[in-house]
Amino acid sequence: MIPNLLAWLLRAIQFGTIIMFGSMGEILTEKSGNLNLGVPGIMYLGSFAGFASAYLYENHAENPVPFLCVVIALLCGFLASALGGLIYSFLTITLRANQNVTGLALTTFGMGMANFFGGFLLKGEVYTAAPISNAAFSAKIPFLSDHLGLFGDAVFSYGFLAYAAILLAVFLHVFLNKTRTGLNLRAVGENPATADAAGINVTKYKYLATVIGAGISGIGGLYYVLDYNNGIWATTGQVEALGWLAVALVIFTTWYPLNAIWGAYLFGMLYWLYNFLPKLIGVTNIDRTSSLWQMIPYIVTILVLVGVSLRRKRESQPPASLGLAYFREER
């Protein structure tokens, strides 16, 4: 019973970390009024660039240093996904293209790019791995994870990115709600004309939030390959499903980064429900219904959306100008 529960929790927190990065990046982006539906593609870019750079470093360096694996992978993963955000920004902010269409195109683009270049790494195999980087990313916290029993297992046995995600959520919360820059950013997403009249550089804020947001989202994809998936790059398209879950999580959090912490873990629990719940209650043979179980996070999101709409609390609505392009001299 207990080991099963613990395994469930561990899996849920690791799973949650992936989508927490994805949705925190998207929260930052959406706070600027940009609805970037390219999250799955961006996470694909981040996962591929992170994996590929680490893989190439591991295979070409004489003595790969684990620390450098981490730095290189993070840098490349962040930059590649930020580049995806930059493409999106240029199209929607500068050229004022439709945000939904652009986002969806970016998803397709990111998937295609990652799988195309991934083919060169796979060299005909079904999967390939970067074990040194995986070890570096998934290293547990030394001492604490071994000497505190179950508590140590439950709290200190994750790779460092799981903790970074929590810190980032807190940081984002403080940034958005307690700083002038955060206030200005929220104003841009709520009412760009007002922000503009107040002397805020709307274009700059939108660009920065979207590009950095995409970079953060991409880290989620990177964490998926190099930690959650044991450093294995394969031909399966799981990152896409995770990307959509991250978008759903943004709605679930009602755009509050702090909610992303527990929301992501809850999504993780719900997502893995099909694997652990039957074991816990002693049912076997549920394989055929696992897809149904995996729907639960989405159903919960819909319920939250319904609840939020019914309550009509102004603070938990999406940024008012979300999805709209801004043009100053429009009459």
**CA neighbor of 158 nearest in space, from 297, 11, 260:** 11
State yes or no: residue 193 binds other proteins (CB under 8 A): yes
Residue written as token pair 């990111």: 110
> Nearest distance from residue 246's CB to other proteins, in Å?
24
> Nearest distance from residue 27's CB to other proteins, in Å?
16
Half-sphere exposure of 58 (CA within 13 A, CB side): 23
Of residues 47 and 321, the one with the C-beta less far from other proteins: 321
State yes or no: residue 195 binds other proteins (CB under 8 A): yes
> Nearest distance from residue 248's CB to other proteins, in Å?
23
* Alpha carbon distances (Å) from 284 to 10, 60, 293: 22, 46, 14
Q: Return the residue of 194, 236, 289, 309 that touches other proteins, per CB under 8 A.
A: 194
Structure tokens at 188: 């841009």
Structure tokens at 197: 């009249």
State yes or no: residue 287 binds other proteins (CB under 8 A): no
State yes or no: residue 312 binds other proteins (CB under 8 A): no
Q: Return the residue of 20, 200, 225, 249 that touches other proteins, per CB under 8 A.
A: 200
Of residues 153 and 196, the one with the C-beta less far from other proteins: 196
| Binding track, positions 151-190, relative to other proteins; x by CB under 8 A | -----------------------x---xxx--xx-xx--x
Residue written as token pair 């916290």: 141
Burial annotation 280-306 (CB, 10 A radius, 16+ → b, else e)? eeeeeeeeeeeeebbeebbebbeebee
Residue 190 burial by Cβ neighbours in a 10 Å radius (0-12, 13-18, 19+): middle
List of residues contacting other proteins (CB under 8 A) = 174, 178-180, 183-184, 186-187, 190-191, 193-201, 314-315, 317, 320, 328-329, 331
